[in-house]
Structure 1
Amino acid sequence: MNFILFFIVACALTFSLFREILKRGSDSILLTVWKFFSYYTTLSNFLVLIWFAALAFLPSSEIGQFAQNANVAAAITFYILTVGIANYLIFGWPKLSVYERISDLSVHAVTPVITFVYWLVFSEKEALQYSLIGYWLIFPISYALYTVVHGKWSRFYPYEFTNVQVLGLKKVALNAIALSISLVIGAASFILLGKTVGRL
């Protein structure tokens, strides 16, 4: 099961990367790959890939045991689930070619859905702790800081709400605060869901 899920996510990322390379325009392949891995969507999918790899290939190792931790599993599932939800809430259902649609669905819908279903059915949930929500924020906050910093010299911002040059530092900071509050509320709700399901 874990190997199959690992394979599906690997295919989704590969397919999405090929799409970016095909539409790269004047960018070099190296620059295109860097931009590809500058998206929160890509990094969240990649995190899921590493998680499934640990579960599939190293279940008895320290890494595998860490991956099986209830709070680690829930945090990773929460990250990828917010990717899917936020994408369609913000961008809706844009007009895309068949190839682009498949690529878009693979990383914004397929990975989130299979990860959530796996977590819902197989992951341990009763040990989830609200006190660890602060640790859940390390990944998204680190990503936001990295995006703002590299955007200053690269002038590339994957998401408009992080664009300091257009919005200004104050507006971006307010966006970050609003996003952090939303993530805290979302994480608390997700833990509540996990604890509820775990008692069933």
Structure 2
Amino acid sequence: MKNTRLTTLVALVAWFGVLLQLALSLQLAVANGKSVVDGLVVYLGYFTVLTNLLVAVSLSWPLLSPRSAPGRWFQRPGVASAIVVSIALVGLTYHLLLRHIWNPQGLQWLADVTLHYATPLLCLLHWWCAVPPARMPWRAPLAWAAWPLAYLAYALLRGVWLQSYPYPFIDVTVLGYAQTLLNSTGLLVVFLLLGGALVAIGRARTG
């Protein structure tokens, strides 16, 4: 992976976002009379947090240990592209579906902007500038979808256990399973379209 300075910058921004949100989530839990563990459970329920954390780890590992097996794996264009599509979905979903339903202030606003806008946009820039262009197969996004699909299964199982769902468009207690799965299918289609766009760009850049 070339352009170490840009990689370092994006990794630092991603770590800043996830750590700031962690501190705020734990603080909110304690303020509401709950435990730190309760706050951590809520924090780890969001695709936004988990995907931003994946970004932070995927960029930091090659910087710290580029020759290790994980370091080499994260540097593969297909892996980097899968993560970029996932974080792009975070930003797009938030902007279109979620930003209108709450109004964060202060440090929460800063965390919100970092997680949903700064990191996704910087990741796209990093993909363009630092990830070597590759002629990836058109079916690649189907494999990349393993991450959001694994999250969906996790969120639904977690919701049954806690009777709480992190996002309104997958809230089974309100929508039922049929509408939840329909909404999830729509987001999956968006993910695959984004992935297809990255594959097309990568193939075009390789000539």
Indicate whether the TM-score tops 0.5: yes
CA RMSD across the alignment: 1.7
The answer to whether 1:86 aligns with 2:93 is yes
1:14-25 paired onto structure 2 within 5 Å = 14-24=19-29, 25=32
Per the alignment, in what secondary structure is the counterpart of residue 59 of structure 1? coil
Within the candidate set 114, 132, 136, 2:140 is matched to: 132
Q: Percent identity?
A: 22
1:160 positional shift: 1.3
Match of 1:168 in 2: 176
Within the candidate set 158, 164, 172, 1:156 is matched to: 164
The answer to whether 1:186 aligns with 2:184 is no
1:1-200 paired onto structure 2 within 5 Å = 1=5, 2-24=7-29, 25-92=32-99, 94-199=102-207
Pick closer, same or farther for the CA change 1:27–1:195 going to 2, 3 Å.
Answer: farther
Which shifted more, 93-102 or 59-68? 93-102
Asked whether the 8 Å contact 2:52–2:119 carries over to 1, the reply is yes
Per the alignment, in what secondary structure is the counterpart of residue 110 of structure 1? helix
| CA distance in 1: counterparts of 2:18 and 2:206, whole angstroms | 31
Per the alignment, in what secondary structure is the counterpart of residue 92 of structure 1? helix
Unpaired runs of 5+ in structure 2? none
Unpaired runs of 5+ in structure 1? none
Q: When the two structures are superposed, what TM-score results if normalisation uses the length of structure 1?
A: 0.91
- Residue 114 of structure 1 aligns with an amino acid whose one-letter code is L
| CA distance in 2: counterparts of 1:23 and 1:6, whole angstroms | 26
- Residue 187 of structure 1 aligns with an amino acid whose one-letter code is G
- Residue 58 of structure 1 aligns with an amino acid whose one-letter code is S
Pick closer, same or farther for the CA change 1:33–1:198 going to 2, 3 Å.
Answer: farther
Per the alignment, in what secondary structure is the counterpart of residue 23 of structure 1? helix
1:147 positional shift: 0.6
1:27 positional shift: 2.5
